[in-house]
Amino acid sequence: MRRREEEGAKVKLLNCFVLASVLLSVSALSGAVVCAAEEHPSGPVPTEIKVTVDPQSIPADGTTQSTITARARDNNEASGGYILTFEIGEGPNDVELIPVLDGGSFPDTAVWDETDENGYAYAKLKAGTTEGQVTIKVSRGGVFETAVVTLKEQGQTDQFKMSVVEGWNLISIPLQMDNNSINAVFTNASNEDVLFAYDDGGWVTTTYYSALPSWHGDFETIELDKGYWYGANSAYTVTIEGTEAGTRNVPIATGWNLIGYTRLNESGLDDLIPNVSNNDVLFAYGGGWITATYYSALPGWHGDINKMQQGKGYWYGANEAFTWEY
């Protein structure tokens, strides 16, 4: 009996090697062969996969890496224990995909990872020395989503154009700037435009005077991770130039927090701010208020807001203090 089981195991292993050889000969982009791991589902079969990359653009220096995060879900319920395949589509041929956790790699253009209990799977993209855009496809069966990583010249900065409307704007700065003084950021403001920040539970403000011309008031610089109220007398476009800020660790105090969003791409709330206190609330403003509330019994965010957007500021009402990591 034992000998029969050993022979069966050898046959299964042989079949695995045969399958790998066939797929490799068909296409270098055929995806990961997952014979070495078996799925152990702990949730529903995924019907959607959400993919984010951080940072979204990296220098083509041959060493820098960007983390690719995928989340498999079915109707907002996590799909745990499923194998997701990460593949390189179009882009420079000197980049490399690297497994992050216990995933495997086969061939060089694809890796795989098994989703955890919250539906997350990971990989990393290592830059080559060629500039361009790399398309990453994450899939399971016929369910997939793509994301793009930009490989830029070393030292090259990114630009973000922020549209400021006449009236009130709830804003934040998505890039790390060399010069973050208000005078350097908002150079084309109108006379008596105002900027408000919420600091230690109180307001500070500064005003632009075109006769000088410069901003004068309680603060002089714009900080990452903070939100601001901008009162504009005329609509205009602000050009923000800098580099991506990378992973953030933002302290959230109990009560109200005026926060910023420090990425150049949109991301869903359930991925960005998971597992927070029941009845925490998030407010955004765009000529009127929209809101979302976190319910731990469901769990997840529900309401008018389903994602955070670059250049926007937000009010966060926290029932307990925590560190927001994203």
Q: What would the pLDDT profile of 183-223 be if each residue is shown by its tens digit?
A: 999 999 999 999 999 988 899 999 999 999 999 999 999 99
Greater confidence (29 vs 279) lies with 279
Q: Which of 88, 123, 152 corresponds to the end of one domain?
A: 152
CATH number at residue 143: 2.60.40.10
Structure tokens at 201: 């539970």
Q: Would you say residue 95 lies in a domain? A: yes
Structure tokens at 90: 């179009």
Among 51, 18, 13, smallest CA distance to 145 is for 51
Q: Which of 116, 136, 152 corresponds to the end of one domain?
A: 152
- How many whole angstroms separate alpha carbon 151 and alpha carbon 65? 10
* Per-residue 3-state assignment (H helix, E strand, C coil) for 75-106: CCEECCCCEEEEEECCCCCCCEEEECCCCCEC
Which range marks the domain in which residue 43 is found? Answer: 39-152
pLDDT > 90 fraction of the chain, expressed in percent and rounded: 72
| 105 within 8 A of 32, measured Cβ to Cβ | yes
Greater confidence (101 vs 222) lies with 222
Asked if residue 226 and residue 112 are part of one domain, the reply reads no
pLDDT at 133 over 50: yes
Q: Would you say residue 29 lies in a domain? A: no
pLDDT of residue 199: 84
pTM of the shown model: 0.68
CA atoms within 13 A on the CB side of 262: 23
Asked if residue 139 and residue 197 are part of one domain, the reply reads no
Asked if residue 74 and residue 56 are part of one domain, the reply reads yes
Asked if residue 113 and residue 65 are part of one domain, the reply reads yes
Q: How far is CA 8 from CA 3, 5, 12, 212, in A?
A: 9, 5, 6, 84
Query: Poorest-confidence range of 55-69, 97-111, 293-307?
Result: 97-111
Q: Could you report the per-residue pLDDT of 30-72, keeping only the tens digit for each? A: 333 333 345 678 889 999 999 999 888 899 999 999 999 999 9
| 37 within 8 A of 83, measured Cβ to Cβ | yes
Q: Would you say residue 10 lies in a domain? A: no
Greater confidence (106 vs 117) lies with 117
Structure tokens at 2: 């034992």
Per DSSP, 20 falls in state H
**Amino acid (one-letter) located at 145:** E
Asked if residue 225 and residue 148 are part of one domain, the reply reads no
Q: Could you tell me whether strands 236-244 and 83-88 are parallel, antiparallel, or unpaired per DSSP bridges?
A: unpaired
Asked if residue 326 and residue 187 are part of one domain, the reply reads yes
Mean predicted confidence (pLDDT) in 149-161: 87
Asked if residue 170 and residue 221 are part of one domain, the reply reads yes
Q: Would you say residue 20 lies in a domain? A: no
